[in-house]
Copies of this chain bind each other. A is one copy, B any other.
Amino acid sequence: MFVLTSYLDAKRQLINAHLDKCLKANPDSGRLIEAMRYSLMAGGKRLRPILCMAGAEAVGGRAEDALPAASALEIIHTYSLIHDDLPAMDDDDLRRGGPTSHVQFDEATAILAGDALLTMAFQILSDAEFIKTDGRHAARWLKVIQRISRAAGCRGMVEGQMRDIAAENNSLSQPELEELHALKTGALIEAAVYSGAVLGDGNLEQIGHLGTYAGCIGLAFQVKDDILNVEGDSALLGKEVGTDERRQKSTYPSIMGLEESKTLARELIDKALQALASFDHRSDPLRAIAKYIIERKR
């Protein structure tokens, strides 16, 4: 029987070891690398890299084939958290249970650590070690770089953060909120599953179904995040709760109500599971992750 916690633990070990290796490939023990390591190794859920590796497995590939992409995705996610926490942005002091980067170090170091992490992600994605010489794999990696950079940039994650800041004192409609989340978190989650599927050598039909899956769980993840900000446990979450309401942010609970938000999250997960109907047991991790996303406490 498939046990999700063991699966997640094993994959986290894989990803953490690879992230550590990537940091050590840059042997300077100065303040910059220290700040990069501080945020990267602060014990995140590793959702994006795990989705990437599970995507590779679902189409019959190996998790290891997708490992550089998995690491790059977590590194990009981490840089975005560092910059989002800055005084000029969300001005958060606490992240993953510890002081945020600009509190632990200083603002300039936090900005530069974020910049260096974002750059490092593309260094890893183009690392010669991972380029097969037959050319077919080189084109595959370029596709992955293309998709991840689109998801992370001015028509994806960064634009999402712009809208998130603009939304703080404006109430949003549900479609506006959905688009904000699709940009801010959805695009990178979809890129994670896509990259895994491409690197695991999935066919177009598989990649299409996995796209539907990823779109649904990406949104469900955000709806659940909003729910946790209302009724979660700050000790478990490692960050403050109730902050959305204090900042008068538009959230699913504030727009459609708490119970309706829970129903929406469940419906999205059902739709995600339906998208996997034609997949065999190798997509069991993706199925279990979908359920975990709405059941999680942190």
- A32: Cβ under 8 A from any B Cβ: yes
Complex interface residues of chain A between 134 and 162 (CB less than 8 A to chain B): 134-136, 138-139, 141-143, 145-146, 149-150, 152-155, 158-159, 161-162
A119 at the interface (CB under 8 A from B): yes
Which residue from B123, B136, B150 sits with its C-beta under 8 Å from A135? B136
Q: Are the CB atoms of B32 and A162 closer together than 8 Å?
A: yes
A18: min CB distance to chain B, Å: 17
Q: Which residues of chain B come closer than 8 Å to A166, judged between CB atoms?
A: 31
A36 at the interface (CB under 8 A from B): yes
The A contact surface, by secondary structure, is helix
A273 CB within 8 Å of chain B: no
Given contacts A146-B126, A154-B28, contact A88 B116 (CB under 8 A): no
- Please classify how large the interface on chain A is, using the bins under 10, 10 to 19, 20 to 34, 35 or more: 35 or more
Q: Is the CB of B119 within 8 A of A142?
A: no
A112 and B149 contacting across the interface, CB-CB below 8 Å? no
Selecting from A103-111, A169-177, A228-236, A284-292, the interface stretch reads A103-111
Question: A111–B88 contact, CB under 8 A?
Answer: yes
Residues in chain B near residue A36, CB distance under 8 A: 154
Q: A33-B154, A138-B142 are in contact. List 6 more A-B contacts (CB 8 A).
A: A26-B153, A31-B166, A88-B106, A112-B162, A122-B149, A125-B145
**Which residue numbers of A lie inside 8 Å of B, CB to CB?**
26, 28, 30-33, 36, 79, 83, 86, 88-89, 106-109, 111-112, 114-116, 118-120, 122-123, 125-128, 131, 133-136, 138-139, 141-143, 145-146, 149-150, 152-155, 158-159, 161-162, 165-166
**Closest 7 pairs (CB-CB, A-B):** A135-B135, A88-B107, A119-B153, A138-B138, A126-B145, A116-B154, A123-B149
